[in-house]
Structure 1
Amino acid sequence: MSLEENKENTRRIFQAMNESDFATLEELMDPNIVNNDPGLPPLPPGLEGFKMLVNLLHAGFPQDGKFVLEDLVAEGDYVAVRWTYSGTHLGEFAGVPATGKFVSVGGSVIQHFVNGKSAEHWALWDVLGMLRQMGAIPASSPA
C-alpha cells in the first residue's frame, strides 16, 4: 500500500471508531491486531479487544464523544497520528460514574500496516488529564 493509502485507511479507522462502524474496522484491521496502550484496562487480544475499547468509549461519552485527527505522518508501513478526543462524560468510563463534565484530551498513535491492514498500534494519551477533567482525581496544586 502507498503512504497515502495507509493515511486514508487510518482516517477511516478513526472515523469508524467515532461511528462504532465495526464492519469498517473489520475491513481495515488485522483480526489479530496487537494493541499496545498502557492507558487501557486489560482487554482481550486482537480486533475483539479493540471493538471493546470502542464500546467503552461510546458507553462513557455516548452523545458527542469523538476523535479529531490533528496531524498524520506516514513513513514506510507506519502512520503516526496526533489526535484529540473530546466528549461529555454521560456514562461510566474507567470505573468513573457519569459526571456530565466535558473532557478534551490529546494523544498519539503509531499504526503499523501489513498487507493494507493495521496489524499493530502503539497509543499514548493523557489518561491523568481525562480523570482530572471528569473530577475523579483532584487537580494538582502548585507546590
Structure 2
Amino acid sequence: MAWQVFALGSAFFAGLTAIFGKLGVAGLNSNLATLIRTLVILTMIAGVVTLRGEWQMPRTLEWRAVGFLILSGLATGFSWLLYYRALQLAPASLVAPIDKLSLAFAIVLAVVFLGEAVTLKLVLGGMLILAGVLILAWP
C-alpha cells in the first residue's frame, strides 16, 4: 500500500499548490511566478538528491528514457505556466478542479499510448471525475 500513501501525499501537496499559488500570483506576473516556483523545486530536489547521495550516473544511460523525461519536463513546464495564468484570472476553487481533468486525460492517454486495460471501474471512475469537474467548474 506504499504507493497509495505517496499518491495521497502528492494530492494533498497539489491542493496546497493551488492555494499557495493563488496567493503568490496576486500582483505578480504569472510567468515570473512559475520561474520562482521552478527554482524552489530545483533547489529542493537537488537537496534531496544530495542528502540521499544519489548523484551517481547510472551504469547505462538509456537515451530513450532521457528523451521521455525531457518531454515530461516540457509538459510540466507548459502545465505550470498555464496553471498560474489561470490562477491569476479565476478563483482557485474553479481552476483546481479543471486542472484535475489531468486525471481523465492521463487515463485516456494511458489506454491509447501505453496499452493499459480498459475496465468498467476505469471508465466509471473517469466519468465521475469528468462529472465532478463539470459540476464544480462550470455554471
TM-score computed with the length of structure 2 as normaliser: 0.30
Higher strand share: 1
Higher helix share: 2
